[in-house]
Amino acid sequence: MKDEILVDGSMGEGGGQILRAALALSMSLGRPFRMKNIRAGRPSPGLKRQHLACVRAAGELCGAEVAGDEMASRELRFAPGPLRAGEYHFAVGGGGSATLLLQAVLPPLLTADTPSRITVTGGTHVPCAPPFEFMAGTLLPWLERMGPRLAATMSRPGYMQIGGGSVTVNVTPAKALVFGTDFAEAAKNEPGPTLETEALVYAHHLPDEIAKRECAALLSPEFAALGLSDSSICVINGRNGGPRPEGAGNAVLVKLRHRHGITVFGETGLRGRSAETVAGHAACRALRFRNSNAPVEKHLADQLVVPLALAGGGSFVTETLTPHCRACLDVASLFTSLKPELHPVNGRKTLVTLR
């Protein structure tokens, strides 16, 4: 067996991203690891239900030997076996994020021997996690630039507490991930002017007034630069078609289409947060990204680090570097011989290189 890698879960932001990156790299490279101080940077440290779901899904994919996979555990041992591509169904439980679980299990399947179909039930639009549209419309097309073919569908949305959403990703793997010309050019060159802007407003089992106020906020003079109109905003409430979730929920998403593809910005409604605040946060993030002229959105950046590490290195230009991205870079350097290099670009962006 290869030497066990020690991962300190307190490094950097000390959150769950460190665990997800370690699981993905461990399965992909066949490297066992031991993690201590799991989620030490959080108010309630240790493994929660969301993180246990990631560990157990990863263990099922590769027949791993696992120790410490229990609630509130602050230490975990994970020794992967051979990866087994195929059809899997994973349940996060409650409103735990389906897209965060996919962050842990998707990277090794990108270069598996055979195709896979992964269905995850849980939250599709929950706080502190990428919404489904970001994964399907922004992340997966970037990953396809490295070789695999990917398709994602959402049969039902799911929100905080109750969850019940369902997401399926079909993976046609590549022989190897490649940091090629297509990825390199898109990852370093400015995205150029916005070609089209759209917005989605999810408002299930909620008063119509909430969606109306969010639409009005998106169309306000403050966000006129986005170029939204009545015809470019779609309200999804279950009464105008589409599946209805098990519980009430609200989310606002703004989609910018540019020459590199689509970048999605989402904000989730919460009790005590006004409709104007929810819509305003999504719109502000979209405007900041557009004004930055960075090709890689800051939350996309952390999700590209593990695939780039598996490709043997690469680089991209992003907005302000997030703690999640720094954590992924630190974990990648533990599992590979690659080291991160960070260089400012025009004082507002960062060139991230793994080599």
Residue 246's pLDDT is: 83
**The amino acid at 330:** D
User: Per the residue annotation, which of 125, 205, 324, 343 is the catalytic one?
Assistant: 324
pLDDT digits (tens, 9 = 90+) for 119-147: 999 999 999 999 999 999 999 999 999 99
In this prediction, residue 348 carries a pLDDT of: 87
pLDDT of 176-213, one tens digit each? 999 999 999 999 999 999 999 999 999 999 999 999 99
Q: Is the pLDDT of residue 354 over 90?
A: yes
Give, as one character, the DSSP assignment of residue 230. Answer: G
CB neighbour list of residue 347: distance below 8 Å, 6 or more residues apart = none
C-alpha 344/C-alpha 107 separation (Å) is 28
The larger pLDDT score, comparing residue 13 to residue 81, is at 81
18 neighbors 331 (Cβ within 8 angstroms)? yes
Residue 114 covered by a domain? no
Domains of the chain: total:
2
3-state secondary structure of 336: coil
CA distance 236 to 143: 28
Q: What is the DSSP letter of 12?
A: T
Q: Is 299 a catalytic residue?
A: no
pLDDT of 231 over the 80 cut:
yes
> Is residue 317 in some structural domain?
no
Residue 224 domain flag? yes
Higher confidence at residue 314 or residue 239?
A: 314
Mean pLDDT of 65-84: 97
- Among the three residues 83, 115, 141, which one is the final residue of a domain in this structure? 83
Print the domain residue range for 277: 191-292
Give the bridge partners for 197, in sequence order: 256
- The two tokens of residue 25 are 């790299």
- Judged on CB neighbours under 10 Å (0-12, 13-18, 19+), 231 is exposed
pLDDT tens-digit readout, 142-163: 999 999 999 999 999 999 878 8
Euclidean distance between CA atoms 320 and 260, whole angstroms: 19
CATH number for the domain spanning 276: value is: 3.30.360.20
| Residues 317-343: tens digit of each pLDDT | 999 899 999 999 999 999 999 999 999
Instruction: Please state, in angstroms and rounded to a whole number, the distance separating the CA atoms of residues 280 and 282.
Output: 5
Q: What are 156's two structure tokens?
A: 């039902």
Confirm whether 344 is domain-assigned: no
Taking the whole predicted model, whether its pTM rises above 0.75 is answered as yes
Residue 159 lies in a domain: no
Q: Which of 64, 83, 102 is the last residue of a domain?
A: 83
d(CA 86, CA 14): 32
Alpha helices in the chain (DSSP H): 16-29, 49-62, 98-109, 132-134, 140-144, 181-188, 208-218, 275-292, 298-310, 323-335
Q: Encoding tokens for residue 74?
A: 């602050």
Helix axes 208-218, 275-292, angle to 10 degrees: 30
Q: Supply the pLDDT for residue 320.
A: 87
Torsion angles phi and psi, residue 75, rounded to 5: -140, 140
Residue 246, judged by CB atoms within 10 A of its CB (0-12, 13-18, 19+), counts as: middle
User: How confident is the model over 18-60, as pLDDT tens digits?
Assistant: 999 999 999 999 999 999 999 999 999 999 999 999 999 999 9
For 22, 57, 144, the CA distances from 51, given in Å and listed in that order, are 12, 10, 26
The answer to whether residue 311 sits within a structural domain is: no
- Does residue 147 fall inside a structural domain? no
Burial of 242 (0-12, 13-18, 19+ CB in 10 A): middle
pLDDT of residue 270: 93
Q: Residue 285: inside a domain, yes or no?
A: yes
- Give the domain CATH number at 33: 3.30.110
Antiparallel, parallel or unpaired: β 249-258 and 261-268? antiparallel
Domain boundary among 234, 258, 292: 292
Q: Give whole-number Cα distances, 31 to 66, 228, 232, 304, 316, in Å.
A: 13, 48, 47, 20, 26
Euclidean distance between CA atoms 249 and 205, whole angstroms: 7
Binned at pLDDT 50, 70 and 90, residue 1 comes out as low
Report the percent of the chain where pLDDT is more than 70. 100
